[in-house]
Amino acid sequence: MRLAPEQVRIIKAVVRREFEPDARIWLFGSRANDLRQGGDIDLYVETRHPELLRELRSKIGIEEAIDLHVDLVVGQPGDDRPITRIAKSEGVCL
Q: Give the single-character DSSP code of 19.
A: S
Domain boundaries, the chain: 5-93
For the whole prediction, is pTM greater than 0.95? no
Q: What was the pLDDT predicted at 13?
A: 98
Helices and strands of the chain, counted as H and E runs:
3, 4
pLDDT digits (tens, 9 = 90+) for 21-74: 999 999 999 989 877 777 799 999 999 999 999 999 999 999 999 999 999 999
Q: What was the pLDDT predicted at 37?
A: 76
How would you list the strands of the sheet with 70-75, edge to edge? 70-75, 41-46, 24-28, 92-93
**CA-to-CA distance for 79 and 62, rounded, in angstroms?**
23
Q: Using the Cα atoms of residue 50, residue 65, residue 22 and residue 45 in order, give the sign of their dihedral.
A: positive
CATH of domain 5-93: 3.30.460.10
Q: What was the pLDDT predicted at 39?
A: 78
